[in-house]
Structure 1
Amino acid sequence: MNTLFHKIINNPYTKSTLLTKKTQPHLLNHFTTAAQPPLPPPHTAPPSSSEEDKTAATITTICKSFPNNLNWKTLNQNLKFINLTDQNVIKKVLIHLKDPPNAKKALSFFHWSSHYTNIMHPTHTYALLIHILVNAKLIKDANALIESVLRRSVACNRSSVELFIQDLVSSYEVTSLGSSFVFDLLIQMCAKLRMIDEAIDVCFYLSEHGFRLSIISYNTLLYVIQKSDKPKLVWRVYEHMIENRTYPNEKSVGIMVTALCKEGKLHTFVDMVDRIDGKRCSPRVIVNACLVFGMIEDGRVEDGLVLLKRMFVKNMILDTVSCSLIVYGKIKLGKLESALEVYEEMLKRGFKANSFVHTSFIRAYCEAGKIESGDELFKDMECVGLQPYDETYTHMIAGCSKFGKLEESLNFCEKMVQNGFVPSCLAFNEVVERVNGFVSVRRADEMLTVLLDKGFVPDVNTYSHLIAGYGREGDVEGVLKLYYEMEYRKLSPGSSVFTWLIVSLYQAGRLEESEKYLRTMKARSLAPLDYTCYTLISRYESQ
């Protein structure tokens, strides 16, 4: 730009009274200035040292005011010209007072500043002060602040608790004065306030960020959950506890045993572990086996086997129980060949065969329609001295019924009763639903009578299937007998029962009774099935 200007003004053909030697320097200055880059805008300029000095002086004045134990009225008078609406200043004061001897002063400043400015401190300020108090062993004061934040969050929403834990973690990482004990206090306070869902969320958040809770915090949370109306969550916390390498103690196991009792499952899992190991095991083994078994049943087989491996390494579960659950997990994944290999290896190492594993294989065979293989394994159990139990019989009964082996199904049912077991209502219904022929129906009915004496509780479907069986055979007395029994047991008959009742009476020539039950059916707002109308019309036309 300057070179171009000199060429212009030194050109002899350029004549202007304005471009004189006196004006040349002045114009050059203008062009030089125009060629320079613009100055940065005012707001991007760094703060002046005077502003920093002013802030530092403010912090020093505040910090010096608190050691004198002045009351709030005097503090208000002495510090009336100080602006404390800036949370950054408040944070710097707290950090200045972070050492344990000054922790009480930091707490006093926290409360005074809230009163003086008439503002509610944000959660990150609470988080910073809580770390200072815990570092100074002022646990009671820290707990009071944690409770204050949590109670305030109840009035707001669940996300405020998430924000609070994020602020606590952030303060821990930034200030380098925090203690992980803060997070134990938070969990214990959530448990005290019955904030179960929030406490569980905090547990998972902390583990994701590399923090481990104490066994006391986990036990406190486990105890509160098993006392609540959400007892199933106790297993989620117990699982997370082991995954996070905080291993249960005697108190933890006791809480879990109580949870099993509350769910009505303790006897079931005690029997399961007894069948595997052949003798009564410790409560710890029973609880841990229950956890892994539940994970496998829920379809989380891989997670369950990973947790099982950790338990085995820590000697939290027996070898026999561990191997049996591995076999069971592979069976649930549909890997029968792999499961058989594991089981054979288990036997080669000196482990004894057990009825739990045999029953697991029988279940898999029956569900796949391999009834012969299941029956063969059932006989092998008896040969090697293993006692089939209720589930073993149930799987054979259901499998035989489902794949058309009704005679074998009834045989297993009778054998089950002879050995002191009672089939489940669901299993027995599988049998009676598919009975066909007078002999099979009568045999199933007699079996029902025997089961009722042993405490079996039938449902509507049990009677409906048997009534349908008698109806197909034209046995009106059998239909009436079961109908009266349903009424006695206060089981409400459905359309199917009334259909067979009306049709059977009509076919037997007992028209008045048939019409009576037809009116009863309509009075109960039950629509007649198509089969009822078809049978009645066909009978009428044939006459």
Structure 2
Amino acid sequence: MHLGAAITTSIRKQQLVSKVRCFSVISPKTSSENESPIHHDLFKSGQKLGSFKVGDSTFYSLIENFAKTCDLSSLEEVFNQMKHEKRVFIEKNFILVFKAYGKARNSSKALDLFDKMWVEYQCRPTVRSFNTVINAVIQEGNFDKALEFYVSVVVQSKQVSPNVLTYNLILKVLCKLGLIDRAIDSFREMPFKKCTPDVFTYCTLMDGLCKEDRIDEAVCLLDEMQVEGCFPSAVTFNVLINGLCKKGDLARASKVVDNMLLKGCVPNEVTYNTLIHGLCLKGKLDKAVSLLDKMVCDKRVPNDVTYSTIINGLVKLGRTGDGASVLVSMEERGYKVNPYVYSTLISGFFKEKMPDEALNMWKEMISKGCKPNIILYGALIDGLCREMKPDEALDVLIEMEKTGCKPNAFVYSSLMKGYFDTSNVDKALDVWEQAKANDFVQNEVCYSVLINGLCNNGKLTEALTVWDNILSKGYKPDVIAYSSLIHGLCNNGSVEEGLKLFNQMLCLGSGFEPDIVTYNILFNGLCKNGCISNAIDLLNCMLDRGCDPDLVTCNIFLKTLKEQVNCLEDGSEFLEELVVRLYKRKRIAGACKIIEVMLQKYVVPKTSTWEIVIREVCKPKKIRAAIDRCWNNLYVQ
């Protein structure tokens, strides 16, 4: 009898599975809009077996299939049907649906369903459900909402007890929000919750510390990690190496690599790429190339990121020709060059006044079947405008539009600047009208180029009209736009109006802080008008706001003092006073720059001036930094 019952049950299950297959594969795209993907007769008169009914597994199969295809409407229909028939809900069903909502970037529905789990569906959520939902919210980038959800469920109502994954997720959220101290507090409470941090926990917190420029704490965390018996992975070391390289501390980065090798972790491609990028940022391209050779010797295959990093670094140093040689090596190794590498090289050749090489690079790129995109077209148009050939750049723009590539604000700005630089104001304004037609006029770069071009071409009235237009539409001009208009006003003799605009700039807050260019424009205008005392007051204001003078600043004041007082000693005293003021404000780098200016002008600083600067530069920490720089220069032989 037992064997017969088992056979009967097996036959029923096979029939049920065949029916599930018939209905679970129906796609809402192929069925009519009014047709339900679920056949209701399939679930009637189910025989009860314990806490489940025959047919519950059918619902579960449907949920799994619809979740895989992210068919959210069908999932909701299945849930409504189950609720109507008082079927049993299990947590696995909800987790599948939460993941589907996450894939569909619809975390709000996942949060809503989580709230209904116990109240409407009598399924008590565990930490697994919570982790799935908060991960969906994080993947959507809604970190504030994720933190609010965590506080509500875990901290306040204590609906679930967090596990290691929960802490890893919330640490990620806190680090993304810049709440690094709260992240450390959460990390420290883990042992009290009987959660042992894993390698991902340490990596997340170390990455957050590095991004907040708290490298020393991140390094200490690596030591603590090893004491606690959690062995770091290559990813862990790479996080630290990346943070140190971005800070420019290559000496300590090399020590971390040594530690990595001692712990049996072999540097991988990411390690090498990070070090190469750090060397390029510091301008140590020869050492970067040497490290590339070492990478190959260690049987670590360079990828397109490695080569692109070196090419970009060479271009920034004005060695675009060497970058082109690396490009050849890259292609010989079988790597397909991406458009960004070509755009970097083309821009580099134009900036180095090598237009023929840039155009040859463009032709070579086309011959190799690389289809130009907006970045490449932008590099070519900007380069031609730098060569004072805006008409040729306009031809490229027309060709670009024919291929279906729509220009962006950068392209229009480059073309406008090209025409302004060749004093062709009418054509520049035609490009502006074209930008307006394509809805790019709200871009602050376009406005800055327009105002600067009009001011430089003596069209101050038109520039002021544009300025009023910007303000009336609610746009906020950037620092460049402010500086351009201030420059135009000062050149026109309206220094007072320029100062009013400058004061407006100060009132706007930190995002509109004047730079040294803005200050120098006003210094020049005030000194030309004989308002030296006002210029000195402005200089004091500049120092108080943390902006250091440069060579142009010094030249403006020295020239004025010489013309007004006709005495070189007054100029030397002025520079000596600048050094002292900067020193008192703990701005040693700025004070050293003024010393350099004095030496360039053959003005010998006083013994007392030398003393205060040398005393500060030769502090133990400074000496340690100098030694580290020496080791850094010797690193990567």
Do both share a fold (TM > 0.5)? no
Q: TM-score, normalised by structure 2?
A: 0.36
